[in-house]
Amino acid sequence: DIQMTQSPSSVSASVGDRVTITCRASQGISSWLAWYQQKPGKAPKLLIYAASSLQTGVPSRFSGSGSGTDFTLTISSLQPEDCATYFCQQANSFPLTFGGGTKVEIK
């Protein structure tokens, strides 16, 4: 199985800051990576698919990049409503696997 490792496990930043989250795959996954946002008590919400494609309706301050084994999710200007846990997920091979999550908080 492909292991997905996220870092950091948590980040605290101020409103308006740029926030970057990293996801590393244990082997190359081309661009088959998705990012999700999850708020407490809610289901995950798809933000980014195929490493850099923005899901319809997601604010443009969210962006994704990377290929192979290293990927990043960037929030260009952190907003209060972005407080959540973010997960990556690889779709290169089955079983589909997720990262452990990064919790984003407002300082």
Q: What does the alpha-carbon distance between residue 61 and residue 86 come to, in Å, rounded to a whole number?
A: 15
The three-class DSSP label of residue 82 is helix
Q: Cβ of residue 49: shortest distance to another protein, in angstroms?
A: 4
Looking at beta carbons only, is 16 or 95 nearer to another protein? 95
Q: Is 81 helix (H, G, I), strand (E, B) or coil?
A: helix
- Residue that is written with structure tokens 């997920």 in the block: 89
Please identify, using beta-carbon distances, which residue of 15 and 50 lies nearer to another protein: 50
Nearest in space to 10 (alpha carbons), one of 100, 90, 79: 100
* Residue 86 binds to another protein (criterion: CB under 8 A): no
Residues 47-76 that bind another protein (CB under 8 A): 49-50, 53, 55
Q: How far is the CB of 26 from another protein (least distance, A)?
A: 15
CB of 85 to another protein, least distance (A): 10
